[in-house]
Structure 1
Amino acid sequence: LPYAAEQSTQVIALPDSQKDGYSPVFRNKISEKSLFSNFHPKIQTAYDIFNYSLEQYRDNDCLAYRKQSLDEETNQLEFDEYYTYLKTYEVDKLRSQIGSGILYLINNTNDNSDLARIDVNNFIVTLFFPSCYQWVLVDLACQAYSIVNTALYSTLGSESSAYILDVTKSPIIFLEKSKIKKILELKNEKSINSLKILISIDDLNMDLDYDLFNECYNSGVLLYDFKTLIKIGKENLLSHIPPNRNSTYTISFTSGTTGVPKGVVLTHVNAIAAFTSNRCVIHNPESNYKKLKYINILPLAHILSRNHITFEFSMGSTIYFPHNPNNPKTFFEDIKIVKPSHIIFVPRICTRLEMGLKSKLTSSKLLNGLVNYKMNKLREEEYDSTKISHFFYDNLLFNKIKKQFGFDNLKMMIVGGAPTPKQTLEYLSAVFGCGFIQGYGMTESHSAICQTVFNYGKTFGTNGVIGPSCEIRLRDVVELDYSWEKNRSGEILVRGPLIFKGYFGKEENFGFDDEGWFGTGDIGTLDENSNVLIVDRIKSFFKLSQGEYIAIEKVEAVYINNNTIINQLCIYGDSNESYLVGLIGLDADYLSKILNVSDKALESLSKESVIGKLNKVDIRTKILKQIEGNVKGMGLQGFEKIKNIYLDVEPFSVDNKMLTPTLKIKRHEVQKAFKEKIGELYKEGKLAIDSKL
């Protein structure tokens, strides 16, 4: 493995599988007879994957981090300028010590008659801290001792966090020191009596942190730090309690745009099926595993990130973590130190890189000509980035650009979370000389439904072909004019071993039809090469007065991906009106330029004053003209373009209930909150920016 691209990109329709209202059932040809559920007979669980890594790469650098220390004069954290490494065998020891420590504390807590008893054979560990090497260690410890885990994250908000802690009855939380008081407040306010133990990943001092220890004790909670937990585990070491295929691996809570978070129950069957699908399709960017360097900047609370960490273990990669995972603006500082061979980005980072590069390179005919040469060469070579190098041009320009970003050794970028424009991938592939992988999945599928093949032209710029661990069919959505017979499109239904079995606390078949198909809620099409292309969410369509349907998330993505000044965007369409209006949250970095004031003058203005100045007609007209100019040629129809806008600074947040914890727009809440503003925009009519719009 992996299979050759010519093999893994062939999709077949199963004979006699089409029925009214649906497409045929499609599978990857390599799993035509039977869907793949495991990589190797000896690898049945996520636990087995790390054991395989331990056997193959025992002395390899496995996890890497930058050590921190407290500057006594400034009382600020300082970080080493280099990385410290944990070898695979050291990670193995630590997972045993952490897992043993968890079980010891749970059992020891039960010896205290003042505390409610915990079922030591059935409890859930909660992780509430950002992506770092300790997160991976705790996850591995849970795998080694068949402990189920779940995650909270900083954007969840108190209501959702309290709900998750309540339904899971989690007795133990791993968290940052700075979050301890917040969790104690939550426990006391919401009467979360199941919570008994807090583990700080940051070091604690009994003297300096006496008040914190005392506050925990008074709340009926025992407080330890990570180092103490490891010491306890080392002194009370237990043999592993390996999971089986059907054991629950994790419960990943997803927050939809309505209702409480849903806990997706994922088993080791799902984890291994997703891993197997990746191993069959993804080609290593480096032939020598010692050169494989991956830096994880995605939140480990999301299943795509965890899925990929497992994949990295199997390849023997060294996995690096940013020194300050809470601050994305510092990530490139770490990337420049690591010089990774491959990395995962979200589309927003890719489009910002593209626009930043274009702003500097297009002003020079020479430099712009060199980029165009590379892009034409990339197309000629069918998007194989290994065939576009040019000794003179690379030394003159492209190697210097790569060095500025820390991409000296970059061979592959993986993009996940949402579709990325093909032209963005082309541009970055040409400038950085790297290949791309883009896919489609969801938490319920352990993130791996389909993906493109690295350096293979037939899948480039799409969401890729169906992986070998699932099958899909499309359901006609006639009311939105999507059907297999008419335009090879419809709602994507998916089935197979990588699909979850149900939501935590709900009946087993919730969300599935009678034949076991799970409805994704996503509208997709299949192109002539059977690549999946995502159109939008079913529930995200608007119908305008002239009868046109608007795939609103697709339209929003076009505007956001092509306009760096847009930080947030919610587009609205009224069925009694013939055009769209937009509520825009501007990037704060551009405010002084937009208002033509100095940064100092901007700081002296209240937020209300800034918003008032932004919404003067001349400013709004200027901004609308700018953003419309940037989406010209991006494929939007006239009725898909915004005709009037309201400008704000971060109008939507988790706190005001207009964003989900995963930062998706809650349209119903936005429409309620901005009902008056939307009405004013329609009353005002279209802004006169171009007579052709």
Structure 2
Amino acid sequence: MPTSLRDHLPFNDFAPLTTDVTDAAIRRLFEEQLPLSHQLIGKAQPVPNSKKAGFSPVYRNSNTPHAIYNTINSGIHTFYDMWNNSVKLWPNKRCLGQRVFNDGTKQFSNDFTWKTFSEINAIKTDVGSGFRHVIENNPYRMPKHDTLSQYVISIYSGNRPEWVITDIACTSYDLGTTCLYDVLGKDSSMYILNLTESPVVACAADKVEQIIQTKRDNPEALELLITIICFDSLKVLPPRLLEEAKKQKITLYDFDQIIEIGKRNRIPEIPPTPDSIFTISFTLGTTGKHPKGVSLIHSNFVALISFCLSHIQRPPNSTNYCFLPLAHLFERITTTFCLAGGVPVGFPSRHELEYDVGLYKRGVRDPLYDLIADLKVLKPTFLTSVPRMFSKIEGHIKNYIASMPEARKAKFESAISRRIQLQAQYDGATGEDPETQQYIDEIRSLVGFDNMHTCMTGGAPIAGESIINLKAALGTGFAQVYGSTEVTSTPCAANPYEKEPGTSGPIGMFGELKLRDIPEMAYRTENVDAKGYISGEVMLRGPLVFSGYYKNEEETRKSIDDEGWFLTGDVGKLNVNTGRIYIVDRVKNVFKLAQGEYIAPDRLEGNFIGSNPEIAQLYIHGDSLQTYLVAIVGLNPEAIPKWLEDNYQIKTTSEEEILKIFERRDVRAKLCKLFNDRVVEQYGIQGFEKIYNIHCEFNPLTVERQVITPTFKMKRPMCAQFFKSDTDRMYQEGKILDAKAKL
């Protein structure tokens, strides 16, 4: 692997986008000049003479084909610089907020309580000083601590202001961070803590006992873990945990205590360098092996935030809702971008309550349930989520409209069709139309999108038709982004009002892209299809590419070639006329049926969920020895009772009774046919992409079953293993799609 990616740039070195570092120039840059117009940055073009055998030409953004940028301004090189710039520009602007829970009424407030950028900055200094003090003046400190080149703080919590304050404090005191995940279990937590030699875990109250037990069970491996900082008051913990922490040589503080320690023991800030570790993001993995730690340095984050500031609009009075887990890089990047751009960030309500928002009124909480409850209060401008969640929103909207009287339903359907027509006229067409606005406003209010300006989705492909429907029904921009943890999340982003949605846009000004042939899948980059696309594995290079897997040189060499190109493992289609990339699926996810047809399941699942409100979850399975697909269907508990009543005159909301009914072959066959008919009509899928047998459950895909990640990504090998008895039974039963349903 090269020591520097700069050695391989064909034109010139990484460069800052702007060089005037005066306060006035930077204020103009952030408040007037950015983002750039999509007319300038909306395409990519090939670099002359860059084509090599087995690869496509190298593509760069058409606005800057002879340069790759690494920062928004020559005076900003670390997130520490970014944060200080925000405090200078917007000291009195809202920064972080949340709804307050009333212990007496057992309800949340109907508004968000906020702290300003200057208030958060003061707390950050106290927290950073407190962290440093309790590490360096710890009664359990060991000589080994002195040998660490940089302390790594582990964060173990759901999204909350303390999470982000900890992150900012660490960047201000040259402390790296990493995250622990519930889904990974104790073994992986131990592995991460041991590998990073983390001296501190900052966590929610419900994680404290688990961390203490993990050290108790692994005293030698975790001997450097000497402090737990609880985001909640220690008063909520059982007194025995304080004694148990001492037995395991752990000092235990709550967040308020750390702030007070920092106030009394103020330490000058320790600015990081561009090469300092910002975070080590551990990929969740799907095979049961230890996760890999993606080491991202400050220069990676600065390049990515600069990309976001250059490409994403920030309307006045914008607000972001921090929904996806911050432990996942996609949400963390969105949050840091918002903080760098002066956009307030609201956090989810954390208390375990049921909300009556007209969705899933049952015992098992669906993530959509809590999402809409908070959105209706915050009414944010930005929302970042994954395709599966947006597919659920799409299904909910369709179910809402389908339940209307015919005359009213026709008006809504007509309004959405009109918006689709208007938005398809040209790139950037918002489709504003006074005659249909009242219907769009009602749908927006239904899901808390009253002020929504832009939604962003990534992590898996989403069908272009779903974007078209959501964009029109909700009257909002909808940008699909592309990237991975190894390239600091998202080097590509589509125009939120793309004429023909479905792409992830062109490569931005902060990297370059090419495709690699995949001969075994018949993808060759010299073959241009009728629509102007070439296909292959996506490869990326530039200042966004990670520095390597943490303490894992072998895996790093497998992922980055001798010229500094990161092999993403994603199958992509690139339009040779626009340079926009269209992600098909993961190379490892694409599978082949017995007759030789390739299936891209992620996109297909999105098609089925988006067009069928009766589906809340879906896992499509294909056996290489079989010629057809089967599926695990998570039924929507609101929509399916109505379907049973309409088709079989059965009135019940009992999940047990419903599942008993779906043991009948004729009932499953009728529903399966409906699913396929809708998808064929809306998306035009081919015969081998149809689902020929289904197994029905309620909420089959859960983190607890270890078949999805906390960000709702499918863990396909684990799904195949978990549902093996069900898929085997469906193949043994055979195709039911063509079975005649009995009324």
Q: Is this a same-fold pair by TM over 0.5?
A: yes
Q: What corresponds to 2:451 in structure 1? A: 409
Q: Check 1:115–1:214 CA distance in 2 against 1; reply closer, same or farther (3 A cut).
A: farther
Q: What corresponds to 1:442 in structure 2? A: 484
**Whole-angstrom distance in 2 between the partners of 1:616 and 1:384:** 48
**Deviations 1:508-565 (CA, angstroms, capped at 9, x unpaired):** 5341112211110000011242210001111122222222222233323322333344
Per the alignment, in what secondary structure is the counterpart of residue 559 of structure 2? coil
2:304 aligned with 1:274:
yes
Q: What corresponds to 1:519 in structure 2? A: 567
Give the superposition deviation at 1:479.
1.1
Per the alignment, in what secondary structure is the counterpart of residue 494 of structure 1? strand
Q: What corresponds to 2:19 in structure 1? A: none
- Counterpart selection for 1:358 from 398, 420, 429: 398
Per the alignment, in what secondary structure is the counterpart of residue 66 of structure 1? strand
**Deviations 1:276-301 (CA, angstroms, capped at 9, x unpaired):** 222222222x2x3xx12222112111
Give the superposition deviation at 1:676.
4.3
2:549 aligned with 1:503:
yes
> Does the Cα contact within 8 Å between 1:148 and 1:248 map onto a contact in 2?
yes
**Whole-angstrom distance in 1 between the partners of 2:373 and 2:724:** 43
Q: What corresponds to 1:199 in structure 2? A: 229
2:177 aligned with 1:128:
no
**Whole-angstrom distance in 2 between the partners of 1:690 and 1:138:** 58
Q: What corresponds to 1:8 in structure 2? A: 41
1:164-175 equivalences under 5 Å are: 164-175=192-203
**Whole-angstrom distance in 1 between the partners of 2:214 and 2:667:** 43
- Counterpart selection for 1:340 from 354, 364, 380: 380
> Does the Cα contact within 8 Å between 2:452 and 2:476 map onto a contact in 1?
yes
Amino acid at match of 1:63: L
> Does the Cα contact within 8 Å between 2:641 and 2:653 map onto a contact in 1?
no
Q: What corresponds to 1:618 in structure 2? A: 666
> Does the Cα contact within 8 Å between 2:43 and 2:580 map onto a contact in 1?
no
**Whole-angstrom distance in 2 between the partners of 1:113 and 1:470:** 43
- Counterpart selection for 1:33 from 66, 83, 96: 66
**Whole-angstrom distance in 2 between the partners of 1:346 and 1:611:** 28
Give the superposition deviation at 1:5.
1.6
Give the superposition deviation at 1:31.
2.9
> Does the Cα contact within 8 Å between 2:538 and 2:569 map onto a contact in 1?
yes
Q: What corresponds to 1:368 in structure 2? A: 413
Q: Check 1:96–1:371 CA distance in 2 against 1; reply closer, same or farther (3 A cut).
A: same
Name structure 1 gaps, 5 residues minimum. Answer: none
Deviating more after overlay: 117-126 vs 163-172: 117-126
**Whole-angstrom distance in 1 between the partners of 2:673 and 2:476:** 34
Task: Name the TM-score, length of structure 2 as normaliser.
Answer: 0.85
Per the alignment, in what secondary structure is the counterpart of residue 205 of structure 1? helix
> Does the Cα contact within 8 Å between 1:157 and 1:655 map onto a contact in 2?
no
Deviating more after overlay: 127-136 vs 422-431: 422-431
**Deviations 1:581-606 (CA, angstroms, capped at 9, x unpaired):** 2233434556766777776754xx5x
**Deviations 1:446-465 (CA, angstroms, capped at 9, x unpaired):** 1122111243536x432111
Name structure 2 gaps, 5 residues minimum. Answer: 1-33, 353-364, 529-533
**Whole-angstrom distance in 1 between the partners of 2:240 and 2:601:** 51
- Counterpart selection for 1:297 from 323, 343, 350: 323
Q: Check 1:356–1:462 CA distance in 2 against 1; reply closer, same or farther (3 A cut).
A: same
Per the alignment, in what secondary structure is the counterpart of residue 122 of structure 1? coil
**Whole-angstrom distance in 2 between the partners of 1:310 and 1:221:** 31
2:332 aligned with 1:306:
yes
> Does the Cα contact within 8 Å between 1:255 and 1:661 map onto a contact in 2?
no
2:291 aligned with 1:261:
yes
Per the alignment, in what secondary structure is the counterpart of residue 326 of structure 2? coil
**Whole-angstrom distance in 2 between the partners of 1:304 and 1:262:** 17
**Whole-angstrom distance in 1 between the partners of 2:738 and 2:182:** 40
Q: What corresponds to 2:526 in structure 1? A: 485
**Whole-angstrom distance in 1 between the partners of 2:111 and 2:716:** 44
Q: Check 1:601–1:561 CA distance in 2 against 1; reply closer, same or farther (3 A cut).
A: closer
> Does the Cα contact within 8 Å between 1:132 and 1:325 map onto a contact in 2?
no
> Does the Cα contact within 8 Å between 2:131 and 2:258 map onto a contact in 1?
yes
Q: What corresponds to 1:211 in structure 2? A: 240
2:439 aligned with 1:397:
yes
Q: Check 1:325–1:428 CA distance in 2 against 1; reply closer, same or farther (3 A cut).
A: farther
Per the alignment, in what secondary structure is the counterpart of residue 339 of structure 2? helix
Give the superposition deviation at 1:35.
0.8
Q: What corresponds to 2:27 in structure 1? A: none
**Whole-angstrom distance in 2 between the partners of 1:373 and 1:591:** 29
**Whole-angstrom distance in 1 between the partners of 2:385 and 2:140:** 47
**Whole-angstrom distance in 1 between the partners of 2:153 and 2:213:** 19
Q: What corresponds to 2:120 in structure 1? A: 91
Deviating more after overlay: 558-567 vs 490-499: 558-567
Q: What corresponds to 1:139 in structure 2? A: 167
1:541-552 equivalences under 5 Å are: 541-552=590-601
Give the superposition deviation at 1:143.
0.3
Q: Check 1:439–1:482 CA distance in 2 against 1; reply closer, same or farther (3 A cut).
A: same
Amino acid at match of 2:390: C
> Does the Cα contact within 8 Å between 2:592 and 2:624 map onto a contact in 1?
yes
1:622-637 equivalences under 5 Å are: 622-633=670-681, 634-637=683-686
**Deviations 1:73-117 (CA, angstroms, capped at 9, x unpaired):** x8x5x43322222111111111110010001100121x4479975
Q: CA RMSD in A?
A: 2.7
Q: Check 1:270–1:371 CA distance in 2 against 1; reply closer, same or farther (3 A cut).
A: same
Amino acid at match of 2:557: N
Q: What corresponds to 2:618 in structure 1? A: 569
Q: What corresponds to 1:462 in structure 2? A: 503
**Whole-angstrom distance in 2 between the partners of 1:662 and 1:455:** 25
- Counterpart selection for 1:226 from 255, 266, 278: 255
**Whole-angstrom distance in 2 between the partners of 1:492 and 1:350:** 25
2:515 aligned with 1:474:
yes
Amino acid at match of 2:298: H
> Does the Cα contact within 8 Å between 1:502 and 1:510 map onto a contact in 2?
no
**Whole-angstrom distance in 2 between the partners of 1:113 and 1:80:** 43
1:600-611 equivalences under 5 Å are: 601-602=654-655, 605=656
Q: Check 1:154–1:19 CA distance in 2 against 1; reply closer, same or farther (3 A cut).
A: same
**Whole-angstrom distance in 1 between the partners of 2:383 and 2:694:** 36
Amino acid at match of 2:312: I
**Whole-angstrom distance in 2 between the partners of 1:236 and 1:379:** 60
Per the alignment, in what secondary structure is the counterpart of residue 588 of structure 2? helix
Amino acid at match of 1:166: N
Task: Name the TM-score, length of structure 1 as normaliser.
Answer: 0.90
**Whole-angstrom distance in 1 between the partners of 2:497 and 2:726:** 47
1:662-681 equivalences under 5 Å are: 663-681=712-730
Give the superposition deviation at 1:353.
2.5
